[in-house]
Amino acid sequence: MSRIAYVNGRYRPWRDAMVHVEDRGYQFSDGVYEVCEVRGGRLVDERRHLARLARSLEALRIAMPMSPAALGVVMRETVRRNRVSDGILYLQMTRGVARRDHAFPPPGTAPAVVVTARSLDSAGNDASAENGVAVITLPDNRWGRVDIKSVALLPNVLAKQTAREQGAREAWLVDRDGNVTEGSSSNAWIVTGTGKVVTRPADSAILRGITRDVLIGAISVKGLTLEERAFTVAEALAAKEAFLTSASQIVMPVVRIDGKPVGDGRPGPVARALRAAFYRYAESS
Ligand code: PDD
């Protein structure tokens, strides 16, 4: 099937889907993005993703180039044209095309918009969740505003590659105090010996995941205790369970950290239950 991308107002066949050499996203990583899950051909948590997109744009002082309604139409049309049933939608907005100069381009420079969609192997994801995945830990050497979902992802890219090379799904990043911040493309969680679900508070040291937000709602409805606080690698290794969350993996049990087992080395009941319950708390549109 030929793939289609939305690029600055047009739906383009894959081979013609290009951005300009002076796009500021290309030259300066001067842009933001969102990844939204597609399930049964519908967007999961579109409203929350668009709200986060608006926050990221505002933080970088990039004007929202189109109304949320118009953007919603483009997102759905991109899913439809690519015939994605289960997969992800990727959306990127940059400060636009201008002669290279670090400072902002002249007022009126139009932001650039790209939207793509592709299928994901949801059966493969479910199989991974059955067995659980491994993570490694690495120093968190990112900038101080990782709460902005910017396309500047070089530390994340290098961390993920190191994880792959070591046979792990994800790299958990550790700050100078020895606390886990989050994964290179996911949020990090543990379940303590007394059954408390712990994840780092959404300050400027992590990206506030949409999956994380939805799960916090699910946790309170299920009567589990949530603690939003930092945790160390040692605490994670001593925990009953660990898991990670993201739009493409939902709730993914973590069974090994740096080669050592978490709990009994198998996915635990809390992570399994939250994965199973997730879509009851998410929005579909
Ligand atoms: N990543 N933290 C980081 C650094 C992320 O890149 C992501 C998402 C998350 C989880 O956010 P959400 O639940 O909204 O997906 C946390 C996306 C999936 C990506 O870059 O592909």
Q: Structure pTM?
A: 0.97
Ligand 1 centroid to 246 CA: how many Å?
Answer: 5
CA of 203 to the centre of ligand 1 (A): 15
pLDDT confidence of residue 2 = 65
Tens-digit pLDDT profile for the chain (285 aa)?
569 999 999 999 999 999 999 999 999 999 999 999 999 999 999 999 999 999 999 999 999 999 999 999 999 999 999 999 999 999 999 999 999 999 999 999 999 999 999 999 989 999 999 999 999 999 999 999 999 999 999 999 999 999 999 999 999 999 999 999 999 999 999 999 999 999 999 999 999 999 999 999 999 999 999 999 999 999 999 999 999 999 999 999 999 999 999 999 999 999 999 999 999 999 888
CA distance 246 to 183: 10
Ligand 1 centroid – CA 245 distance (Å): 8
Per-residue confidence (pLDDT) for residue 27, from 0 to 100:
98
Give one word for 167, left, alpha or beta, with left for phi > 0 and alpha for psi -120 to 50. Answer: left
246 lines ligand 1 (CB under 6 A): yes
CA atoms of 142 and 250, how far apart (whole Å)? 24
Q: Topology of 125-281 in CATH?
A: D-amino Acid Aminotransferase; Chain A, domain 2 (3.20.10)
Question: Distances from the Cα of 265 to the Cαs of 179, 190, 215, in angstroms?
Answer: 22, 14, 23
Spatial distance between the Cα atoms of 35 and 157, rounded to a whole number of angstroms: 16
Q: Is the CB of 232 under 6 A from ligand 1?
A: no
Return the best residue to mutate from 32, 89, 143, 187 for the ligand 1 pocket (most ligand atoms within 8 A of CB). 187
User: Under a CB-based contact definition with an 8 Å cutoff, are residues 244 and 274 in contact?
Assistant: no
> Do 125-281 and 4-120 fall under one CATH topology?
no
pLDDT of res. 285: 82
* CB 56 less than 6 A from any atom of ligand 1: no
Q: Report whether residue 211 contacts ligand 1, using a CB cutoff of 6 Å.
A: yes
What are the structural domain ranges in the chain?
A: 4-120, 125-281
How far, in Å, from the CA of 106 to the mean position of ligand 1?
32
pLDDT of residue 1: 55
pLDDT at 25: 98
Q: Which of 158, 246, 249 for mutating ligand 1's site (highest number of atoms within 8 Å of CB)?
A: 246
Burial of residue 266 (CB within 10 Å: 0-12, 13-18, 19+) is middle
Active site residue 240: no
Return the CATH class of domain 4-120.
Answer: alpha beta
